[in-house]
Amino acid sequence: MENKYLKLPDLEILNELFELSSESPSGLCWKNPSKYSKMKPGDVAGRKTHEGYWRVKINYVAYSVHRIIYYITTGAEPGDKMIDHIEQRSDNFKIRLATNAQNQANKKKIEGCSSKYKGVSYYAKYNKFKAGIMVKGNTIHLGYFVDEVEAAKAYNAAAEQFFGEYALLNKVEV
């Protein structure tokens, strides 16, 4: 299988170009921008995409900022692994290596669904809420519930069982 991620420049080059900054919205500031760039040392490195990810160009090639930050902070090139944002893209420093399945487990619920909870939908035929979870490409039916919160709790229990620390749980009253 071919690596879908570009190999990052050497760590030494990244450390010459950038400095980590919790004050920067991307998490990176330019340390030594190219002499052909309009950027100055201290400027925010990168631009936010319409998907909410930060990208930065190095020699006309765009790289994901979170992959660069992972490499700089750990010293390990992520290679073909995904980088999972623990808090859904809101913080480029709260990241970890993940498989595709782990990254999918940590995604928000799909907008426009019939329930405010992930893994829950309203099933009009039975006038109940249906809970389900996708594991390794298969949907596991968790049951029908009169109460939407109980269905969300069933999803949470299954998500913890199957996805552990990568599970994005519904916020429900206990």
Q: Summarize pLDDT for 48-59 with one digit per residue, the tens.
A: 999 888 999 998
CATH number of the domain residue 133 falls in: 3.30.730.10
Contact 45, 55 (CB under 8 A): no
Does residue 103 surpass a pLDDT of 60?
Answer: yes
Q: Is 83 helix (H, G, I), strand (E, B) or coil?
A: strand
Final residue of a structural domain among 98, 130, 146: 98
Angle at alpha carbon of residue 110, lines to 106 and 113, rounded to 5°: 140
Question: Is 129 part of any domain?
Answer: yes
Angle subtended at Cα 167 by Cα 54 and Cα 174, rounded to the nearest 5 degrees: 120
What is the reported pLDDT for 3?
A: 53
| Average pLDDT score, the chain | 89
Question: Among the three residues 54, 78, 98, which one is the final residue of a domain in this structure?
Answer: 98
